[in-house]
Structure 1
Amino acid sequence: MSIERGPNSVVADMVVPATRPWSHLVLKGQVLRIIDSEGCQAVDTLFYSAADTAERYSAQDTIREQGSPYITTGTKLLSNEGNVMATIIADTSGGHDTSAGACSAESNTVRFGHETKFMHSCRDNFVAELSRWGMTKRDLVSNINFFMNVPVEPDGTLAIVDGVSKPGDYVELRAEMDVICFISNCPQVNNPCNAFNPTPIRTVIWNG
């Protein structure tokens, strides 16, 4: 269950504009709330150990450990070293994807035509934000897509369909180690993950 916290415990509170990246250090025990302000907005998210960024979120280990491609309250996000990086402690939407990855110039071209190649993408956002912390595109790994609706079709393929999150829906994560969180507030306009209209989100970090 989410715990309401007083203003004196707030470490950071920021509106992330539509299409833009964000990053912040989240210390062990602190809680990060990601709020889908207007609903139906995909929020691509990554975590790296602040002590050693070579340790980072592992979608494969997280999926294997919990036996599901979707994450929600109670899910422990595992690193590539098998350590718990964060735990989802509250979720008003549910069913967040951690399989479909981030949109890129290459995927835009393949899925939507060559004219979309130079559209802004989550991969671009991540690369730009990672550079602020001394990392490069070689450090990118598969990410979480909070609030993104990605059902598995009967033939095993992934579909990206209309989102189900409502305005004000949120997910809360408690850091189990000092982590750097990276977000791309997804700029995709060619599929329904953002209702074809990217919108702002809000991030709030509290002391635990």
Structure 2
Amino acid sequence: MPEESLIPSEKILWEEHLPAGAHWSGILKRGTSLRLTDTQGGANCSALFYNAEEKLERYNMADTLKAQHTAKLTRGHVCYSDMGRVLCSITADSLGWHDPIGGVSNAELVRARHGEAPYQTHHNAMHRNGYDSLLIEAGKWGLGTRDLVANINFFSKVTVDEAGNLAFQPGHSTPGDYIDLRFEMHTLVLLATAPHPLDPNPEYAPRPVQLTAWRSGPAPIDDICRNACPENQRGFYNTEILFRQEA
């Protein structure tokens, strides 16, 4: 990892290893950043974001892509809520492309592609799917099936041809690739490391992800994400009004 990408040790709040095919959730406060690192290469990390203080406000894929005129996510982009506020910003990214359109795997898809592998026979090596993994984490915070919206797949690349067909790009992420998310609101984060639904690999082969949280502070005035486009400037303004009212 390049020296300029290293996180100062005195700013680190906590680190956690998210195993392959596992799931995790937690609250990241405003001014905190979270680094996701693909430790082995080939990871897929499905993610959902909610306003931790009012969970009816959550990540909105359509507004995120429309406002920033993109079909991929990378440094300089932000993740919008359905209230026009910025949940988190992508402040660093070694890959340049993360998938916001491919969706999440479910039990039927995993069973058809990889066969049966229940906990009773495979224990911790059981086959997990992204939908149920996110649903389990959502349930810990009082959320349910109606709260699972379109997700982001970090470390995965999906392209679209002229006919509108989606194509998964194998081998996109390599060991040590990372993405940094800076949270602009107190945000509930759900993560799952089940395989991408479009990954054609017949072997069930999820990969782990390392989580590192640190104090980064909120976005400065000259921030690349804030100033990437006029829509983002408005999104940050809407977000900061919320926190001024609470002060």
**TM-score w.r.t. structure 2 length?**
0.76
Q: 1:54-92: CA deviations, max 9, x gaps?
A: 111111100101111100000011001111111100000
Distance in 2 separating the partners of 1:34 and 1:71: 14
Give aligned pairs, total.
Answer: 206
Question: CA distance change for structure 1 residues 125 and 194 in 2, over 3 Å: closer, same or farther?
Answer: farther
Which of these residues, 144, 147, 163, is aligned with residue 152 of structure 2?
Answer: 144
- Which residue does 1:160 correspond to in 2? 168
Asked if the contact 2:25–2:188 (Cα under 8 Å) also holds between the matched residues in 1, the reply is yes
Secondary structure at the aligned position of 2:65 is classed as helix
- How many percent of aligned residue pairs carry the same amino acid? 33
- How big is the shift at 1:4? 3.3
Matches of 1:98 and 1:122 in 2, distance apart?
A: 14
1:188–1:196 contact (8 Å) kept in structure 2: no
Unaligned runs of 5+ in 1: none
The whole-number CA distance in structure 1 between the counterparts of 2:114 and 2:29 is 42
Bigger Rg, which one: 2
Q: Which of residues 164, 171, 184 in structure 1 aligns to 2:192? A: 184
Q: 1:101 aligns with which of 94, 100, 103?
A: 103
Distance in 2 between the 1:201 and 1:195 partners? 19
Residue in 2 that maps onto 1:87: 89
What residue number does 2:133 align with?
A: 125
State TM-score, norm by structure 1: 0.90
Question: Going by fraction, where is helix more abundant, 1 or 2?
Answer: 2
Q: Residues of 2 paired with 1:192 and 1:54: CA distance?
A: 34
Distance change (3 Å), C-alpha of 1:194 and 1:173? farther
CA distance in 2, matches of 1:96, 1:195: 22
* Structure 2 gap ranges (5+): 119-126, 217-247
User: What is the rounded CA distance, in whole Å, between the counterparts of 1:180 and 1:198 in structure 2?
Assistant: 23
Q: Match for residue 32 of structure 1?
A: 34
2: distance between equivalents of 1:54 and 1:80?
Answer: 9
